[in-house]
Chains A and B, each alone.
Chain A
Amino acid sequence: MTRSLRPLLATTLIFLFAYALAVSQQPAMLSTRVLGNFLTDNAFLGIAAVGMTFVILSGGIDLSVGAVIGFTTVLVAVLIMWLELHPLLAFAIALIVATAFGAIMGAAIHYLKVPSFIVTLAGMFLARGGASVLSPDSIGIEHPFFTAVQKSYILLPGGGRLTVVGIIMLIVFACAILLAHRTRFGSNVYALGGSETSAALMGVPVARTTISIYALSGFLAGLAGVVFSLYTSAGYSLNALGVELDAIAAVVIGGTLLTGGYGFVAGTFIGVMLQGLVQTYIVFDGTLSSWWTKIVVGVLLFMFILLQRLVFRAGPRRT
C-alpha cells in the first residue's frame, strides 16, 4: 500500500461507511435495484466528471461542462425531430461539435495565455446562449431508437437493472482509468498539472496536451449530453444547470488535488456515487427537503478539501 493511494482509500472507506449508515437507517437501500438506479441517475454526471478530472489533473478548471450538456441535448433534439436524422448520426454530429468546442477553448487557453476559468466561463455563456437561440423551448424526442434503448437493460441478481446509460458510464470510467494511468497522454496530463514549466522543459508537448485535455472534456460533456437526452427524452437549453459544480465536487471528493498533478479517475467514481447516495437517502427518508442535498454536498466538499490539506501538509511542502 503506497502512501499516495491513501486519499483514494479514505474516500472509499467514507463511502462504504456512509452507505452502511444509510442502510442502517433505511434497510431497503441495500439492494441491487438501488445500486442500478445510482448508476442510471448519475450517468451523465459521472461522464462529465471524468472529463473534469483530466482538466483538474492538468491544473485547470472547466466551467462549461453543464452548458455543453444542455447544448448537446438541444442539438440532438433538433437534429432528430426537425431534420429527421437517425439518432446515431445525430449523436455523432453532436459529439464532433462538442469536441471541437472543447478543443477551441483549449487552444484559447494555451495561445491567449488566459486562465482556464475565464475562457470556459465564456464557453459556458456561449453554449447556453447558443442552445437557447437554437430553441428556447423544450423539445421532446420521440423515436423508436430512443424507446428501444431506454427499454433495454441487463437484469442484475436481486431485480436491479443495469441500463444502457449506466453501462456507458462504466465503460467511460474504465477507458479513462487506462488513459490516465497507462498512456503517454495520461503521464503528460499529470506532468502539466505538476508544473507547466517543468513539463515543457521535459519535452511534454504543452500545446497539444492542453488542447487534447479540453477537447476530451468537451467530448465527454457531449457524451454526457447524449446520455442526458436518452435519460430524459428531451432537449432543453436549461438542462443540467450547475452540473459543472457537481462535477467539480465529485472530483474533489474523489481525492484529486485541485492544484493539479495528483489524483485518480477511480476516486471521481466514488465521488459521484457518494453524491448519488446523499440524494437517494434524502428521497428514501422523505421528511428531509431536497435542499439538504446541497448543504450535505457542500459539507462533504469542505471536509475533503480539509482532508487534502492535512494529508499534504504532513508531506513535503509545495508552493
Chain B
Amino acid sequence: MTRPTVDLRPTTQPPLPRQRPITSFLTKPQVIALVAVLLVNWALFPGFFTITWQDGRFFGSLIDVLNRGAPVAILAIGMTMVIATKGVDLSVGAVMAISGATAATLVTNGIPAPTAVLAALATGLLCGLWNGILVTVLEIQPIIATLVLMVAGRGLAQLITEGTIVTFSDPLLIFIGTGSFLGLPMPVVIALVLMVLATLIVRRTALGLLIEAVGVNRSAARFAGLKAGTLLLIVYTFAGFCAAISGLIVAGDIRGADANNAGLWLELDAILAVVIGGTSLMGGRFSIPMAVLGAMIIQAMNTGILISGFSPEFNLVVKSAVIIVILVLQSPLSARLFRRLPGAPK
C-alpha cells in the first residue's frame, strides 16, 4: 500500500551532491584541509608520499594514514547517521571493547573463527539495539541513553575477558586487523566497502531523506507519516554494528582484546570526524563520505604530530584548536560577520 501524502521520489529536486562536477568536490573545505595537512606532513617528512610495493601489498606513510584512520572512519559512518537524527552515540568505544572481547574469548575457547566474528557483530547489533530502545521506547535523551552503555560497557567487556587481556593467534581475526586485499590493508578495504554501501543505501533510496526528516523535527516527521521510532532503532543498531566491526579490527591489529583500552576515547574522535565532515549537530544534514574524510584529516594530523617529534599528547591541543576553529566558522556570529565583510551596504 502506498501513502498518498508522501511522495519521496526526488524527481523535481535540484541536482544532488553526487551529480555535481568533480571541481566542486575538490574545492570543499574538508578536501582543502586534508590536502593542506598532507602537504605539511610532506614538508616535515620528505618521504611522506612514497609508496612501495612489497610482499603483495602497498607500504608507505600515506597507506599508514588510511590504515590507522580506518577504525575511526568506520565508527564515523555509523555516527553520521545517528547525528543526522539529532542524536549522538557515546557508547561506540565501549561497544568496540565488547565486540573485541567477545571474538577473542570465543576463539580462545575453541569456537571456529567465522562463528566468533558473527557473534561479535551480533553483540554490536544488540548493544546498538539497546541504545535504540532507550532512545525510542523510553524516550531518553540520546547523550544520556548511550552514556549508560559507555559507563557499563567496559565493565561488561572485562566480565567477558575475566579481567585479562585475551590474546589469540587465529588467522581469520588477525587477517581482519592486519591482512591485505588487492594490495590495500584489510581495515581500509572494509571501511571503503562500508562507506560505499552505506552511501548508496542512504542516497539511492529515500532512507537518507527520512533520516534527515527525523533529525530536523521528529514530531513533524511522525505526523507526516514516517515511522520515526523504527528509523531511530535502525540507525542506532547500525552504529552498534559499525562499532563492532571497528572493535574486530582493533583486536585483530594487536592480536588481543584489551577491555580497558580498546576504543578508548574513540567515540570522541568519531564525533569530531563527523563534525569536521560538515554534518550538523542539530540534525538534518549529513554526508557519510565527508565524515570518512574527516576521520582521515584527524589521522593525518596524528601522523604529522608523531613524525614531527612532538609528544602524542600534543595531539589533544591540536584537536581542540580544530574544534574551536570549526565552531567559530559554523556559528551564526561569524556568518553575520562574513556577510558584512565584502563591502555590504550599511
CB contact between A237 and one of B148, B281, B313 (< 8 Å): that residue:
B313
For the complex, is B111 an interface residue (Cβ under 8 Å from A)?
no
Give bound CA distance, A298 to B259, whole Å.
16
Give bound CA distance, A249 to B145, whole Å.
12
Interface residues of A in 114-155 (CB under 8 A from B): 114-115, 117-119, 121-126, 128-130, 132-133, 136
Chain A min CB distance to B225 (Å): 19
CB contact between B144 and one of A115, A130, A258, A289 (< 8 Å): that residue:
A258
Interface residues of B in 281-319 (CB under 8 A from A): 281-282, 311, 313-319
Segment touching B, from A6-14, A23-31, A177-185, A302-310: A302-310
CB contact between A245 and one of B147, B316, B323, B333 (< 8 Å): that residue:
B147
Chain B min CB distance to A73 (Å): 15
The binding surface of chain B is classed by DSSP as: helix
Say yes or no: A309 contacts B140, CB within 8 Å.
Answer: yes
Chain A min CB distance to B229 (Å): 15
Give bound CA distance, A112 to B325, whole Å.
11
If A115-B281, A121-B271, A258-B141 touch, whether A129 touches B317 (CB-CB below 8 Å) is: yes
Kindly report which residue of chain A lies nearest to residue B331, judged by CB atoms. Answer: A112
The binding surface of chain A is classed by DSSP as: helix
Say yes or no: B317 contacts A294, CB within 8 Å.
Answer: no
Kindly report which residue of chain B lies nearest to residue A289, judged by CB atoms. Answer: B163
**Number of B residues whose C-beta is below 8 Å from A?**
48
- Chain B residues, CB < 8 A from A249: 147, 151
Q: From B141, B316, B321, name the one whose CB has the most chain A CB atoms within 10 angstroms.
A: B316
- Chain B residues, CB < 8 A from A309: 138-140
- Chain A residues, CB < 8 A from B140: 258, 305, 309
Give bound CA distance, A196 to B297, whole Å.
36
- Chain B residues, CB < 8 A from A252: 144
Interface residues of A in 27-83 (CB under 8 A from B): 61
Given contacts A122-B323, A306-B138, 12 further A-B contacts (CB under 8 A): A113-B332, A114-B331, A124-B320, A132-B314, A133-B311, A136-B311, A259-B141, A289-B158, A291-B158, A291-B259, A295-B156, A298-B148
Q: Could you give 27 example pairs across A and B, Cβ below 8 Å?
A: A113-B331, A113-B332, A114-B327, A114-B331, A115-B281, A117-B143, A118-B271, A118-B275, A118-B327, A119-B327, A122-B324, A124-B268, A125-B268, A125-B319, A126-B317, A128-B316, A129-B316, A129-B318, A248-B147, A249-B151, A289-B158, A291-B154, A298-B155, A301-B148, A302-B152, A306-B138, A309-B139
